[in-house]
Every structure is written in structure tokens, then in C-alpha cells.
Amino acid sequence: MAIFQPFCIVLILSSCVLAQSHGNVFNVLDHGAIGDQVTDDTKGFMDAWEATCRSSSASPTMHVPANKTFLLNPLNFRGPCSSANVNVEMNGKIIGLRDPSQWQCDRSGCDKWIHFKHVDGLFVHGSGTIDGQGEKWWHPSALAITDSNNVRISGLSFRNNPHVHVVLDSSTSVYISNLSIEAPGNSPNTDGINIRGCKNVFISNCRIKTGDDCISIVEGSSYLNINNITCGPGHGISIGSLGKSGSSATVEYVHVSDVVFSGATNGVRIKTWQGGSGHARHIIFERIRSRQSDNPIIIDQFYCPYQHCTTQASAVHVTNVTYSQIWGTSRRKTAVNFACSETVPCTDIFMDNININAAPHRRHPSKAMSSCQNAHGVARGKMVPDVPCLVRS
């Protein structure tokens, strides 16, 4: 008997470890997904998610294996989950069912493809690709995180999604890093990352090439830190549009740094509609490089992509905006454009160390210009182009 005891303990221990590691990981293949690019894998994914979300182990993981291509309807990954840390390890490739008439959506509709809602402590990571397969498809956002706290997303690639690639809505403490997002430069409304109603958002080390804004920040967002991003083609990093149809909108405490814009239509942009109210304030753009952006620095308080927009007195107040160390080239002659409202001017605009040359043709850079309407503030250090509406300090 005595001889067998250590053996038994080893056996018991190892089977415990096995059971636990298995009990922790929910592979979509074990829940019926096939990944042959033909079979509809929606149910396998949903079952694996249910098991992951229900699991009371410390850190359950839904596992999507590499080297497989999964075909999926909209996925509604609902929380709250039992564990405070829920992982989704996404290594395979995910494509959407091509024909929207085959889509089955629940009450929340088909506007989101992969949707995490009410999932706190979520970590989505891996080397996987989320491929929308382009314009044949319907118009949902590819990955949406709503009403969730403490979320991390890292490492994934997004290709050719027909609408916004990543949506963050009504969530706090969201960390996004190491994403690669790519859609054709001429694809409509393909924002890279769209942030709405979120607080404490950190975005770093992302490469974004899209047909619309690389990152757009809209109402109710505050305390955002965006660092080390390459953007272009695309419409740049935009705060707004804010204040559509007379609405009140506030975006504040946004810090954008170390961004390279290459061939983007805009660099750093703040855009607001006439007739709105609220604030875009406490914003810093620093260490930005523009390579041939159409409008490297722009505030547009007359944003109106439609034909009929009447002049209105109220506007979203743009104030306390710093532009520091912004260098490079502008494809248009006007490199700095502040178009602010007469009744609600832009105030406390700080510029420091700006050096942008016009380069309609790469080989012959020429002097860039600035345009200023109702903008007030202070400029210091090198100022090319000069922005004469600001007081020189």
C-alpha cells in the first residue's frame, strides 16, 4: 500500500490539472464549429460563448483555433458573465455569411456583427483576422463593445469590413493595442475605430487604413489617450461630428500623440454642426507627422456634408485645444484651417512648434498657408505656416 500512495497522489494531481485546464478553455470546435469556410459556424460560436460566460473558473477562455476559416451570422455575446475575467482567444479567420438575406438576427438587429454587451473584464486577443469581404456585404459594424467595463482588445487584424470596424459604445476602461485595420481608401463609411459615450479609453500601436475616419470620437467621450498610430488612407483622426440636429454633445480630455498620417484627407480634425451645443475641450494633439494630408490641421464648425444647411447662431464650443510639434507636408496650400463660428468662437487654441509645407507635388514643396475665422489663442516656437489670428508669445 505504502508504495502506491505517491503514485496515487501524482495521478490525482495530474488529472486535476488536466480537468482544470480543459474546464477553462472552450474551443469552438468542441461546440460544433467546423471552420471549413462552408458550414455556418454561428451555433458553435454561440455555444462556446455560453459555456465560457457561464463558467465560474477564474479566467475562462473561448478559443478560436488558427488555420481555420469560420463562417458566421451576427454573434450576440451577452454578459454579464460569471467570471470577472473572460478571454476570447481569436486565432482563426472569421468571415461573414455573404448574403444578408440569410442573416438571422435577434431583436437587437443586424447593425453589429460581433457584439459583446455587458461583458466586464473582457480580453479579446490573438492573431486572427476578421474579414468582412468588402462591399457585397450588408452594413454592420464588425466588432462592437457596448455597456462593458475593463475591456482589452489586442493583436487582431480587420480586413475589408463594409462599415465601422471597431465600435466602442457606453463603456469604460477600454484598452486597445496592436490592431491592424485595413479597408480600401475609396470604401464609404469604413471608420477604423469609433468611440461614443466612453470614458478612459487607451488606444496604442495600431495601423489603420480605411475609407473614412481612422478614429472618430463622438458625443459623451472623455479621458481618451491615443498613441502611436499610423493612419492613411483615411479621413484622419476626428473629434466629431458633434451637435447634429441641434443636439448637445461634449467630448473632453483627449490626448492624441505620435501619429503618422500618410495620404489622409485630414490629419487632426474637430468638426461640429451648426445649431448644436456642448463642448469639444481640453484636447491635445502632439508629435504628429503629416505626409501629404489634404488638411493636416482643421477645425470645422460648419460641418455639413449635405446641400442645405442654414446658418445658425448656436454651436458646440471648441476650447482649450493644443497643437504641439506637428510637422510634415500638406497636399493643399492651406495647412492650418480654423473655421469657427462667429457667435461661439474657438477659444484657447494653443500652437507650438508647427512646421508644415505645402507639397502638391512631392518634389516641389512650397509655402503653406493658414486660414482663420473666429479663432483665438496663443502661438509660440516655430510657426510654419504663420497663424496670425493667434497672439504670439
Q: How far is the CB of 155 from ligand NAG (least distance, A)?
A: 5
Nearer to ligand NAG, 253 or 327 (CB): 253
The 8 Å CB, 24+ separation contacts for 30-37 are: 33/70, 35/65, 35/68, 35/69, 35/70, 35/92, 36/68, 36/69, 37/69, 37/70, 37/71, 37/95
Q: Which of 31, 163, 235, 317 is an active site residue?
A: 235
Shortest spacing between CB 22 and ligand NAG, in angstroms: 17
Residue 154 near ligand NAG by CB under 6 A: yes
Per CB under 6 A, 347 contacts ligand NAG:
no
Number of residues that bind ligand NAG (CB under 6 A): 14
Q: How many CA atoms lie within 13 A of 51 on its CB side?
A: 20
Cell of 114: 460581433
- Nearest approach in angstroms of CB 29 to ligand NAG is 11
Residue 282 as a binder of ligand NAG (CB under 6 A): the answer is: yes
Report if residue 307 touches ligand NAG, rule: CB under 6 A: no
Residue type, 289: R
Determine phi and psi for 33, rounding to 5 degrees: -75, 150
Nearest of 51, 194, 60 to residue 123 by alpha carbon? 60
Q: Would you tell me how many other CB atoms lie within 10 Å of the CB of residue 193?
A: 28
> Per CB under 6 A, does 205 bind ligand NAG?
yes
Among 24, 15, 73, residue whose Cα is nearest residue 44:
73
Please report whether residue 332 would count as binding ligand NAG according to CB under 6 A. Answer: no
Residue 155 contacts ligand NAG per CB under 6 A: yes
Element (H, E) at 14: helix 4-24
- Residue 324 as a binder of ligand NAG (CB under 6 A): the answer is no
Task: Clarify whether 235 is annotated catalytic.
Answer: yes
Q: 73 or 272, CB closer to ligand NAG?
A: 272
Cβ proximity to ligand NAG, 48 vs 335, nearer residue? 48
Q: How many CB atoms lie within 10 A of CB 87?
A: 22
Least distance to ligand NAG, CB of residue 345, Å: 17
Give dist(CA 138, CA 104) in Å, integer: 13
Annotate each residue in 58-97 with x if it binds ligand NAG (CB under 6 A) or - if it does not, as one string: -------xxx------------------------------
CA dist 68 and 60 (Å) reads 22
Q: According to CB under 6 A, which residues from 217 to 236 bind ligand NAG?
A: 228
Q: What positions carry a catalytic annotation?
A: 235
Which residues contact ligand NAG by CB under 6 A?
A: 65-67, 154-155, 177-178, 205, 207, 228, 253, 282, 284, 320
